[in-house]
Amino acid sequence: MRRLVFFVSDSTGITAETLGNALLSQFDDIDFDKVTLPFVSDRALAQAAVRSIDVSCEVDAPRPVVFSTLSNPDLYDIVCTSRALVLDLFKAFLPRLEEELQMGSTHATGRYHGLVNRPNYEGRIEAIDFALSHDDGASVKHYDRADIILVGVSRSGKTPTCIYLAMQFAIRAANYPLTNDDLEKGGLPRFLDRFVRRLYGLTIDPERLRQIRHNRRPDSRYASLAQCRTEVAEVEALFRSRGIPYLDTSHSSVEEIASRILQDTGLQRRSF
């Protein structure tokens, strides 16, 4: 079964996609063909969106589903003239929220993903700069500025997690790879001692690590199962002996890893 889905927004479309995809992920047996129509910010663009929706819809096919975030009710009304079922975030929730807060909403467009709060936004951009310049053991002398320092063996998921923590939550996250050398010496590099309370470990199933490393350097010693097993066993022993909290990343997305880390450490989400 296939079904056509549109995400319609007066801004980036990212909220409409998030809303719609979260809902659609609850339906396993349908293939959804998805189209995003962003920046639908005036009546002419809304009418153009209606035409796009209607022409894409074959005569015998079931009507499309539209997930929309249109803060202007006039634009919502126009999109509702299409053949699609329209499910709108603001229409569904704003009336109850206005009543609860005893206040009318602004109906302004581009509020959420726009540059409304410049200091908050710059905090995010600085966090991204920080993650990039402190990736993979770089700039270790500035670790005093890190909110958190992820440690783990090579390819255990540190880099994308740091970038996600920065992008989504404005957390300044560094990462340091624990090498075979470090592990054979039986401990953390000395300079990490004074940051031990900011350390958070990532670990991974050795078989999964072998696959990831094999894709990067096929048939290397680095990618051998024996090497992966040894490194993982040593790094987990190190985490336990030093009381470093840690997480197995084998079956988790960056979103899940990042959220678990924040929950475990009590670091506050800062972005919005």
| CB of 167 vs its own copies, minimal distance in Å | 6
Question: Which residue number, 95 or 186, has a Cβ lying nearer to its own copies?
Answer: 95
| CB of 38 vs its own copies, minimal distance in Å | 5
Pairing mode, strands 31-37 and 65-69: unpaired
Question: Which residue number, 188 or 209, has a Cβ lying nearer to its own copies?
Answer: 209
C-beta of residue 165 within 8 angstroms of C-beta of residue 131: yes
- The radius of gyration of the chain from alpha carbons, rounded to an integer in Å, stands at 24
| CB of 71 vs its own copies, minimal distance in Å | 6
Question: Which residue number, 112 or 222, has a Cβ lying nearer to its own copies?
Answer: 112
Amino acid in the structure at residue 103:
M
Give the C-alpha separation, 34 to 266, whole Å: 37
| CB of 186 vs its own copies, minimal distance in Å | 31
E-assigned strand segments in 153-262: 173-177, 199-203, 246-248
Query: Other CB atoms closer than 10 Å to residue 108's CB: what's the count?
Result: 12
Question: Which residue number, 129 or 193, has a Cβ lying nearer to its own copies?
Answer: 129
CA 114 to mean position of chain CA atoms: 18
SS3 94: helix
| CB of 222 vs its own copies, minimal distance in Å | 17
